[in-house]
Structure formats: C-alpha cells, structure tokens
Copies of this chain bind each other. A is one copy, B any other.
C-alpha cells in the first residue's frame, strides 16, 4: 500500500520509521488495541497503519460516507455526532487518547467524526484490519471487548438522555470525565473541558443556555469551580456523584 495522502494533512507512514517498529511499547501506547498483543503481532499491526496529525475542528468523515478506515486516537480529542435533516444534532460521544472509532455496518459510517483539538490518529483500512483479525485472534477479541465497552457506555447514556434532569446530566458528564482522568493516571480535578458548551449540550440532549445555566448554578452552590474556560474544578465529589446517580 503506498503512503496515502490525507486531505492535505501531515502523513507519517510509521511502519517505515525505525523507532516505531523497534520500540514495541511506544506502539502499544500509541495504538489502543495493541494491548495484549505480542511483539510480532504489534509489528504486523503497525505495518498496515497510517499515522496522521489533524487540526482542530477537522471533519474526519461524515455520516453516510463509505466506510474505509478504523481510527485510533494517539492524542487529542474527537467528537462523534449524528444529525437530523433540520440540523438538530446529537453528539454520540467524546473520544480521547486510546479510543477507537470508525466501526460500523457496510452502509457507511453511522456518525460524523470531527476533531475538537488538534489530534493525532492512526488509521487502518477495514480490509487490512479484517484480514489481520483473522490472523490474530487476540486482536479480534480486543476489538470485540472494545465494542462491548462502547455498548455499555451507550446504554448508560440512554438512561441519561431519557430519564435524567439537566442537573443530573451535567453532574454525570463531569463525574465521567473526572473518572476517565483518574483512570489514565491524571488528577480528577480540575478536569479539562476541551469541547464547547454547544457540544456538551448536544451530548446531553439540552440547549447551550440550559448547560450554561446549570454550570452557573453548580458554581453558585460551590459544587464546582470554573477558574478558566476549558477547565472545571470539582469541589464536592460526593455531592456531584450522588447528583449524577439521581439520588
């Protein structure tokens, strides 16, 4: 496969770089679904990827586009969303380092993927990944586990969208962001909010105004602090967690 142009953005065909094929652990950190794979298997995987850096607010693919690649985020942030014909938008998820996206049926991608911040991704063609999955059972297993994890998250989001109040929605959102921070070894507070209020609103099934008002309320109640744009301090974890669970 020749190195592909990626809509004019910087491409590194990392398989050709010595540092990547030799330093196994680097690749593991870089490509989410490498965990559990052997050195050789990781090398095989690395040999079929394309590594690229995308600017902020860059549309990686649109809902309905022909499905050709699966993406893994090395670092940065991405949002996935679906649109109704009249422009109403539902953000399906916010993705960060280690997350993958681009799975779907054969009918085309079922959501649009857009970067929030400048983002580095690895791309794999579906075709190559499929054949590799045939060869490396653990890879297929890992993909399955990741799909199940996404499914569980989607089900929790349904509960949020269908049954939680605005306050509970925002609280849940903050708690989950904090938990993710902690999981990857970063402080649970302050938590980074790289996405806009509009993105948050479309993720929680609210309007910008309601999100803004709810943040203001939580701040007035001293449950959170908003020291700077893109940052949120969680002052009272227990209260926030209870609120998130609807207690």
Contact = CB atoms under 8 A, between A and B. Distances in A.
Interface of A: 82, 84-86, 88-90, 92, 103-105, 110-111, 133-134, 137, 140-141, 143-144, 147-152, 154-159, 161-164, 202, 204-205, 245-247
Contacts of A247: 85-86
A162 B88 CA distance: 10
Nearest to A155: B92
25 contacts: A82-B158, A84-B159, A84-B163, A84-B245, A84-B246, A85-B245, A86-B246, A88-B246, A92-B159, A103-B148, A104-B148, A104-B152, A105-B149, A105-B152, A110-B156, A133-B141, A134-B137, A137-B140, A140-B144, A143-B144, A144-B147, A147-B148, A154-B158, A161-B205, A163-B205
A interface, over-half SS:
helix
In the complex, the count of this chain's copies comes to: 2
A110 to B, nearest CB: 5
Nearest to A246: B84
A52 to B, nearest CB: 24
A246 B82 CA distance: 13
B204 A162 contact: yes
A159 B86 contact: no
A105 B85 CA distance: 36
A247 to B, nearest CB: 5
A85 B242 CA distance: 10
A15 to B, nearest CB: 25
Residue of A140, A159, A164, A205 with most partner-chain B CB within 10 A = A159
B85 A162 contact: no
Contacts of A147: 144, 147-148, 151
Nearest to A162: B205
A155 B246 contact: no
Nearest to A154: B154
